[in-house]
């Protein structure tokens, strides 16, 4: 497993969940430290699913913490400069369309198509069957297409 | 917009440029990937001074014998070559002798692979000796290349085959004594071969065929040896 490649993908996933780049980066680094400390990941072919499960759980822990709105706002501003300047308009369109999706569908789509995880690993991370992953992905893509169409009309 | 277009766009979603923090983290924790050539270099270092010195001594002896203007030197070289095989087996069985097989089995490369690399390195060294001495002998004695290869290669291969069988089946460090006996017997073999050819009991071509057969058996035995290493090292014999 390539650390650099997975770091970037995990960061995108955590950023999608938390909407805070610095917090996402904290979570990614904490995820890796926990991943390396544990020995259960040596179970073959489950490394990636295990890594994402740790990251997801850490993000959930963050949601449970009481929010300080002002600090969050500062963080978001601080994080904005990290966005790649060459971000194209269609990329912004798709991100806005993604934001309109329900959280579970958005998560599935990002894991499958942005981070290119296989369906088996996604099923392990989310805790649903592979069949359910396929069904929801299809549902998510349909909704996403509708959202993009709507935005294009706007 | 089709699903395919959406999937292409999704690949770029939430892309974030890497920060200094990310670079520092990756630099600190990224393990250096080990190139396959590194294991060959490591194994070369692991061969040890004694194995290298034995090899060098053998080459020197070959060179000295080659200087003799004697048509019978092909038989001397043929009798010496099994000693090179013995050096190979000594280097190969080093981990067993020093009880290091478990440690090697737990290393980044499997013990099978380590054994294969060791065999490859030492086999290459011996092959160089065989080829160089065959060329020298061809010039000095006037025998054709295949006959020389049959004469000097057969005792060596018989020795290698016998030694690998012993190390594969006799899992004690004392197996080296068995290997020495086999090497001793194969060292005497050229004397019998010489007599058989001189008295025209056996044609030199027979040794070429014998070399091919024994080489095939040695390869088979080597593969079995490499395959069985992993299991036997974990079962603690």
Q: How far apart (Å, rounded) are the C-alpha atoms in residues A91 and B9?
A: 6
- Answer positive or negative: Cα dihedral of A25, A116, A52, A17: positive
Model confidence at A85: pLDDT above 90: no
DSSP assignment string, A35-81: HHH-SGGGSTT-HHHHHHHHHHHHHHHHHHSPP-HHHHHHHHHHHHT
A3 and A59 together in one domain: yes
Q: Determine the residue of chain B that is closest to A88 in CA distance.
A: B12
CA distance B10 to chain A (A): 5
Looking at the complex, does the CB of residue B35 fall below 8 Å from at least one CB of chain A?
no
Which residues lie below 8 Å from residue B144, measured CB to CB, with a gap of 6+? B138
Residue at a domain's end among A68, A83, A98: A83
Residue at a domain's end among A29, A57, A83: A83
Q: How far apart (Å, rounded) are the C-alpha atoms in residues A83 and A79?
A: 8
* Of residues A49, A9, A2, the one with CA closest to residue A28: A9
> What range defines the domain where residue A97 resides?
87-154
CB contact under 8 Å between B15 and A95, yes or no, is no
A43 and A92 together in one domain: no
A73 and A1 together in one domain: yes
CB contact under 8 Å between A114 and B14, yes or no, is yes
Looking at the complex, does the CB of residue B20 fall below 8 Å from at least one CB of chain A?
no
Classify residue B19 as exposed, middle or buried by CB count within 10 Å of its CB (0-12, 13-18, 19+).
middle
pTM: 0.47
A112 and A149 together in one domain: yes
Q: What is the dihedral of CA B1, B7, B9, B11, to 10 degrees?
A: 180
Crossing angle of helices B145-169 and B73-92, rounded to 10°? 30
Model confidence at B173: pLDDT above 80: no
CB atoms closer than 10 angstroms to residue A130: 13
Task: Tell me how many domains chain A contains.
Answer: 2
Looking at the complex, does the CB of residue B28 fall below 8 Å from at least one CB of chain A?
no
Supply the DSSP symbol for A83.
Answer: B
Q: What is the CATH number of the domain that holds A110?
A: 1.10.10.10
Binned at pLDDT 50, 70 and 90, residue A27 comes out as: very high
A45 and A103 together in one domain: no
The secondary element (H helix, E strand) that includes residue B14 is none
A9 and A77 together in one domain: yes
CB contact under 8 Å between B9 and A32, yes or no, is no
CA distance A125 to chain B (A): 20
A73 and A96 together in one domain: no
Looking at the complex, does the CB of residue B3 fall below 8 Å from at least one CB of chain A?
yes
Classify residue A3 as exposed, middle or buried by CB count within 10 Å of its CB (0-12, 13-18, 19+).
middle
In chain B, residues with a C-beta closer than 8 Å to the C-beta of A84 are: 15-17
Q: ipTM of this predicted complex?
A: 0.72
Model confidence at B92: pLDDT above 70: no
Model confidence at B42: pLDDT above 60: yes
For the residues B91-106, what does the mean pLDDT come to? 64
pLDDT for position B183: 81
Binned at pLDDT 50, 70 and 90, residue A79 comes out as: very low
B201: its two tokens: 């009991």
CB contact under 8 Å between B10 and A110, yes or no, is yes
């Amino acid at each position: 497993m390539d650390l650099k490649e997975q770091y970037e993908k995990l960061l995108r996933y955590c950023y999608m969940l938390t909407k805070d780049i610095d917090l996402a980066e904290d979570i990614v680094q904490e995820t890796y430290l926990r991943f390396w400390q544990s020995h259960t990941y040596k179970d073959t072919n489950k490394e990636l699913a295990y890594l994402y499960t740790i990251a997801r759980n850490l993000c959930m822990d963050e949601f449970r913490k009481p929010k300080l709105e002002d600090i969050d706002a500062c963080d978001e501003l601080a994080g904005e400069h990290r966005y790649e300047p060459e971000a194209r308009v269609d990329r912004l369109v798709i991100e806005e369309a993604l934001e309109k999706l329900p959280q579970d569908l958005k998560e599935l789509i990002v894991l499958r198509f942005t981070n290119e995880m296989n369906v088996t690993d996604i099923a392990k991370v989310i805790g649903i069957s592979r069949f359910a992953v396929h069904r929801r992905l299809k549902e998510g893509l349909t909704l996403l297409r509708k959202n993009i169409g709507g935005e294009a009309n706007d | 917009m089709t699903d395919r277009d959406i999937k292409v766009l999704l690949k770029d979603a939430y892309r974030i440029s890497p920060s200094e923090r990310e670079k520092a983290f990756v630099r600190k924790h990224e393990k250096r990937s080990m190139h396959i050539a590194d294991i060959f270099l490591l194994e070369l270092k692991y061969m040890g001074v004694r194995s290298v010195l034995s090899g060098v001594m053998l080459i020197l002896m070959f060179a000295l014998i080659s200087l003799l203007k004697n048509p019978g030197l092909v038989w001397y070289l043929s009798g010496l070559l099994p000693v090179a095989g013995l050096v190979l087996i000594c280097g190969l069985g080093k981990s067993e002798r020093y009880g290091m097989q478990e440690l090697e089995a737990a290393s980044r490369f499997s013990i099978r692979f380590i054994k294969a690399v060791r065999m490859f390195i030492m086999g290459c060294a011996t092959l160089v000796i065989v080829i160089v001495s065959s060329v020298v002998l061809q010039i000095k004695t006037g025998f054709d290349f295949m006959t020389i290869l049959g004469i000097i290669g057969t005792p060596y291969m018989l020795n290698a085959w016998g030694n690998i069988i012993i190390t594969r089946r006799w899992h004690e460090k004392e197996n080296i004594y068995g290997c020495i006996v086999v090497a001793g017997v194969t060292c005497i073999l050229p004397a019998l071969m010489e007599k058989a050819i001189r008295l025209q009991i056996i044609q030199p071509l027979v040794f070429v065929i014998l070399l091919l057969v024994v080489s095939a058996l040695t390869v088979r035995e080597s593969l079995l040896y490499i395959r069985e290493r992993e299991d036997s090292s974990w079962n603690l014999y």
